[in-house]
Amino acid sequence: MELRRMTRKAAKRADILEIWVDSMPAKISPEEILGLADKPLIIVNKSKKEKGDFRGTEEERIIRLAEFVRAGADFVDVSAETPPSLLKMLFEAEHRRKSSGKSTKIIFSHHDFKKTPAPAELKKLRDKAFRAGAHLFKLATFARSYEDNLSILQFLADSRRAGKPCIAHCMGEKGRVSRLLAPIFGSYIIFVALDSHNATAPGQLTLDEYKKISSLLKL
């Protein structure tokens, strides 16, 4: 099984792994996927709108994510634009798991594939997510200019001061700077690809590239 091979390879080098389940057959159980590695897993189930492969309804997509919560996923990533009526299923599953002494962190993610909004708008998106119950907020915007990196880094610094855990970076070739510096400014997680063939977003660094550059810059 290719997924098993790749997961085991990545688990030897990464602290946390992200697995997209939207292109996987529904017959593969959450338990089978969660058992692939002994590292924390972020489970993502993306729709076509989010550049994913899930072809069912929005309700079916969230039901699938809720199954992973009940099965013991460490993190699940859900679009911040998901209707509250559907998010309720995730939080109910998370509440039941929490009552057993364990927990799943729910990440609300927002992607803007065209631009990087102004800092004030980024804060509004973040605050809305936390009011809705998010444990973490993930923000990925497209860098039209190198200055857009500054907006994201400023957003991360402000979020850290506010005590609101966030993940943020710019996509695109001009956004690589934010990916390198995001951890310094408070990003909870930095996303890198196992290799150049497995990048999930434009401008994403590979693990080897990130380690080499961060070592040279003594980050």
Report the alpha-carbon distance of residue 150 to residue 117 in Å, rounded: 12
Q: Which residue carries 């660094």 as its tokens? A: 205
Q: Taking Cα atoms as reference points, which of 149, 169, 140 lies closest to residue 50?
A: 140
Q: Report the distance separating Cα 179 and Cα 153, nearest Å.
A: 10
Q: For the beta carbon of residue 76, count every other beta carbon within 10 angstroms.
A: 26
What residues are annotated to the active site?
Answer: 111, 138
How far CA 64 is from CA of 17, 34, 70, 157, 203, in Å, comes to 19, 13, 10, 34, 29
Cβ atoms of 41 and 74 closer than 8 Å: yes
User: CA-to-CA distance for 112 and 130, rounded, in angstroms?
Assistant: 19
Tell me the C-alpha distance between 217 and 27, whole Å: 46
Calculate ∠ Cα 186-188-189, nearest 5°: 120
Look-up of token digits 């001061």: 161
**Tokens describing residue 169:** 């970076």
